[in-house]
A and B are shown apart, each in its own frame.
Chain A
Amino acid sequence: MAATESDWRTQADERGDTTVKPLWQRWVVENPVFRYHFLGQTRLAVARPLWQVLAVASPFAVIYFWLAYQVATNGLPAFVITLEVFALCLLAPLMTHSLFAMEFERATWDMLVLTRLTAGQIVMGKFLSRLVMLLVFGFLFTPLLWMAANREFNDMASPLMVLWGLKVQWVTVSWAILVSAVTLWLSYHVRRGMVAAAASFVGQVFVLLVLPIFWSFFLSLLQITDTPDPSYLRLETLGRFTWFLAWSWLPIVYNPIVAAVGLFVFRTSPNAPFLWGIWQGIVYLILAAAVLWALMASVAKATRKSLL
Chain B
Amino acid sequence: MAMLEVRNLRKEFGQLVAVKDLSFTLQPGDIFGYIGPNGAGKTTTLRMLATLLEPTSGTAIINGVDIVKEPEAARPLIGFMPDFFGLYEGITAYEYLAFFAEAYGIPPAERRQVIENVLELTDLTVKRDANVETLSRGMQQRLCLAKTLLHDPLLLLLDEPASGLDPRARAELKELLKEIGAMGKIVIVSSHILPELSDFCNKIGIIEKGELLLWGDVETILRQLQPAKLLTIRCLDGAEKLVEWLNRQPEIVSTQIVNGAVQAQFVGDDEAQADLLRRLILDGHRIATFTEMTMDLEDVFLRVTKGEVA
Contacts and interface: CB of A to CB of B under 8 A. Distances in A.
B103 A112 contact: yes
B308 interface: no
A58 interface: no
Contacts of B95: 40
Interface string A87-122: 000000000000000000111101111111100000
A11 interface: yes
B88 A114 contact: no
Contacts, number: 78
Contact of B90 (A14, A15, A44, A114): A44
A40 B90 contact: yes
A107 B84 CA distance: 7
Contacts of A36: 88, 91, 99
A40 B51 CA distance: 29
Report, as a range, how many residues of chain B touch the other chain: 20 to 34
Given A110-B80, A115-B104, A117-B103, A14 B73 contact: yes
What is the interface of chain A mostly: helix, strand, loop, or mixed?
A: helix
A114 B52 contact: yes
B72 A304 contact: yes
A284 B47 CA distance: 39
B85 A116 contact: no
A3 interface: yes
B90 A111 contact: no
A30 interface: yes
B50 A108 contact: no
Interface residues of A, number: 31
Interface string A23-51: 00000001011011000110110010000
Contacts of B76: 116
B29 interface: no
B100 A111 contact: yes
Given A3-B72, A107-B84, A304 B103 contact: no
B85 A111 contact: yes
A106 B87 contact: yes
Contact of B100 (A14, A47, A110, A115): A115
Contacts of B162: none
A278 to B, nearest CB: 39
A167 interface: no
Of A30, A112, A116, A117, chain B has the most CB atoms within 10 Å of the CB of: A116
6 contacts: A32-B99, A44-B90, A106-B87, A107-B84, A107-B85, A115-B104
The 4 tightest CB contacts between A and B, nearest first, are A106-B86, A44-B90, A115-B103, A107-B86
Interface of A: 3, 7, 11, 14-16, 30, 32-33, 35-36, 40-41, 43-44, 47, 105-108, 110-117, 304-306
Given A106-B88, A114-B52, 17 more contacts: A11-B72, A16-B107, A32-B100, A33-B103, A40-B95, A107-B84, A110-B80, A110-B82, A111-B82, A111-B144, A114-B50, A115-B100, A115-B105, A116-B72, A116-B103, A304-B51, A304-B72
